[in-house]
Amino acid sequence: MLDKSEKIFVAGHRGMVGNALVRRLESQGFSNLLVRARSKLDLRDESAVAKVFADEKPAVVVLAAAKVGGIKANNDYPVEFLLENLRIQNNVIRSAYENGARKLLFLGSSCIYPKLAPQPIPETALLSGPLEPTNEAYAIAKIAGIKLCQAYAREHGANFISVMPTNLYGPNDNFDLETSHVLAALLRKAHEAKTQNDSELIVWGSGKTRREFLHVDDLASACALLLEQYDSPEIINVGFGEDISIRELAELICDVVAFDGELTWDKNKPDGTPRKLLDVTKLRALGWKPSIPLREGIARTYEWFLANYAR
């Protein structure tokens, strides 16, 4: 169990996931949250991270900080995705252990699984086949983080857990078309097509690939539960439990945004993994299920986009 007064360090509190976690924990009455802006603490800097942990001694650590991006960014900058994520993870996980943190939650990603994993993907699929080449660098960094947490558990008995979320969306998402993920990119493209009175919206790939999407507030509720109830070094998936084709997603987004032009598919662009649906049997057994349907979540995200990004 978590004590409401325990010091909880949320690394990456300004990102989509970290921000949702801070909101969730505050709403549950956790009053001693430790956060540091990037300007005050560069998590890639080993000595700076070690000093903050030595000074603050957080009891619980949530590692939600990472260099993230969509297919294009992952494909274009593999060195940065590998090096920066390894540095962040190694520094935070090591300092958490060395300064007596009693629990750490490491946020991985569903891209750790093989490109052609069985569907829905069980946790046991990890390292059972080749990765999707377009985001291999990011996936390998995340796998290294999982293995480091498991190594601390095995060698030192550390209660370091690793959580694998599916594709996320929601407030504070990244809507930059060069680096964003598919849902945020489509939402922005549909909004711009509507405001410019365009007759068509060009979408990457064939539209046939299938993806699962989880609102980030649902992930935050799952993480809060796992911090309280889950103490195994074995990885655990967090997903919605259903998937949708990219074509269906694009149509749904156009409907929410009220863009009534045509969808045009650029089949010269990559599709990525054919299907990616997580097996959430382990998490459901703990009594958790998502509460935000996809259409409602997209509508909420569009409201946030209009208020915060579309200026």
The pair of three-digit structure tokens given for residue 90, joined into one six-digit string: 């190694």
Report whether 266 contacts 200 (CB < 8 A): no
CA-CA distance, 294 to 303, in Å (whole number)?
A: 14
- Burial classification of residue 260, based on how many CB atoms lie within 10 Å of its CB (0-12 exposed, 13-18 middle, 19 or more buried): exposed
**Which residue among the candidates 138, 152, 230, 302 is catalytic per the annotation?**
138
Closest CA to 108 of 75, 53, 149: 149
Q: Is residue 138 flagged as an active site residue?
A: yes
How far, rounded to the nearest angstrom, does the alpha carbon of residue 167 sit from its chain's CA centroid? 7
> At residue 165, what are phi and psi to the nearest 5 degrees?
-80, 155
Residue 243 is given by DSSP the state: -
Single-letter residue type at 41: L
Residues annotated as catalytic are 138
